[in-house]
């Protein structure tokens, strides 16, 4: 669901598709996916810490859907209440986490996803 906020707080037996019903899953994305990872650090005077992460291997709506299905299962749902994300129609994904441990989980997940995606190309 491009452009909608996602929160893993919804109780579901199956993970929802992140694609709108009228979108061809093989259609190329208009913009590359770029992730802004934000840690809301309450102990830091300057506020939040941000990291930019490119996701060049995600080129189609289906690849984006696959990424977020896995991300929900591995990272978002287990950390419910301490993570939220928004997928913009411009390809910018903002992920906000509450702890450094979750920030590390997000980074490790993305690194692993990128590595596995490179091997399958």
Query: What CATH number is attached to the domain comprising 109?
Result: 3.10.20.250
65 domain residue, yes or no: yes
6 domain residue, yes or no: no
Count of domains for the chain: 1
21 domain residue, yes or no: no
Q: Which two tokens stand for residue 113?
A: 């996803």
Mention every residue, 6+ apart, whose C-beta is less than 8 A from residue 3. 87, 88, 89
* pLDDT for residue 85 is more than 50: yes
Rounded Cα distance between 116 and 121, Å, is: 9
15 domain residue, yes or no: no
14 domain residue, yes or no: no
18 band by pLDDT with thresholds 50, 70 and 90: low
111 domain residue, yes or no: yes
Instruction: Tell how strand 33-39 and strand 92-97 pair up.
Output: parallel
The owner of tokens 């390809």 is 91
Rounded Cα distance between 18 and 71, Å, is: 11
23 domain residue, yes or no: no
pLDDT value of position 2: 44
Backbone angles phi, psi at 104, to 5 degrees: -65, -40
Mean predicted confidence (pLDDT) in 92-114: 95
Range of the domain at 79: 29-120
**pLDDT tens column, 4-13:** 445 444 444 3
75 domain residue, yes or no: yes
């Amino acid at each position: 669901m491009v452009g909608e906020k996602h929160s893993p707080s919804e109780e579901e037996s199956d993970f929802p598709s992140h694609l709108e019903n009228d979108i061809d899953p093989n259609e190329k994305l208009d913009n590359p996916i770029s992730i802004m990872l934000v840690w809301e650090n309450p102990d830091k005077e300057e506020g939040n810490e941000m990291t930019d992460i490119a996701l060049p291997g995600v080129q189609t709506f289906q690849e984006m859907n696959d990424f977020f299905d896995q991300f929900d299962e591995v990272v978002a749902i287990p950390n419910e209440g301490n993570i939220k994300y928004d997928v913009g129609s411009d390809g910018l994904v903002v992920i906000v986490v509450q702890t450094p441990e979750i920030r590390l989980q997000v980074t490790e997940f993305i690194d692993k996803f990128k590595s596995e995606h490179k091997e399958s190309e």
